[in-house]
Amino acid sequence: MTLDEQVRAEDMGTRLGYLGLIPFVAGAVTALLSEELLSLAFQAFILYSLAILSFMGGVHWGLALIIGTRQSTRLLISVVPVIVAWICLIALPAPLTVAVLGGCFIAQWFIDRPILAELPIPSWYLEMRPRLAYAVAGCHLFILFRTMS
């Protein structure tokens, strides 16, 4: 990969990563400010949270396919986030679902951090991931606050 391609990949990855925060922030702000849209904002927020947790787990599925070591562990790690999210969605009350999902984003980062540190992952990604995880967890706290009030 040329330096120009690396710069373009970093720019695109960074933009997409931060743009992915928009539905979280919009959902949290809408839930806080609009009584009329609260139910819709909450549902959209939870569904997006579930989708992104699934996406985050999918990173490990991809790693299992291309890296020959720890394949079983990587495959297991890849499905746990979405299964936990799904169980929350169908079995827990709304505030607890929001709390667990928010915690899942932090947990996913703590699981990913040592795994990704062993791999040739670009530094921009390793710097961006905790920022995104904490921002997303913060949005979950706002939604949690709203569902408790």
What's the pLDDT score for residue 148? Answer: 86
pLDDT string in tens for the chain (149-residue length): 798 888 899 999 999 999 999 999 999 999 999 899 999 999 999 999 999 999 999 989 988 888 877 888 889 999 998 999 999 999 999 999 999 999 999 999 999 999 888 888 899 999 999 999 999 999 999 999 998 87
pTM beyond 0.75: yes
Cα gap 74→118, rounded to integer Å: 13
Which DSSP category does 102 fall into?
H
What's the pLDDT score for residue 113? Answer: 93
Residue 28 has a CB neighbour count (10 Å cut-off) of 23
Largest CA distance in the chain: 53
For CA atoms 52, 40, 135, 131, the dihedral sign is positive
On whether the CB atoms of residues 111 and 81 are closer than 8 A, the answer is: no
